[in-house]
Amino acid sequence: MGNPVFQPSHFMAVVLFALFASIVFGITQRETPRRMIRYGIYCFVLFVGSAIAISWLMFLIAR
């Protein structure tokens, strides 16, 4: 029996990466739970938003 294989789409990979990294950033970089959540959401939006923006930029450059 082989190892299980997970083949997400590129966007799903971005979302998963952003989710887990944002959780760790939020917990480690802020002190209070409220600020942790806010910073975590901020990081998640920046991760995913910048990936989408750069993707569109590369798409337009490649045309």
SS3 content of the chain, % helix, strand, coil (to 5): 80, 0, 20
Any contact of residue 1 with other proteins (CB under 8 A)? no
Give the HSE-up count for residue 23: Cα atoms under 13 Å, Cβ half-sphere. 5
From the list 7-15, 45-53, 55-63, the region that binds other proteins by CB under 8 A is 7-15
Three-class SS state of 36:
helix
10 or 63: CB nearest other proteins? 10
Any contact of residue 11 with other proteins (CB under 8 A)? no
CB 43 to other proteins: min, Å: 12
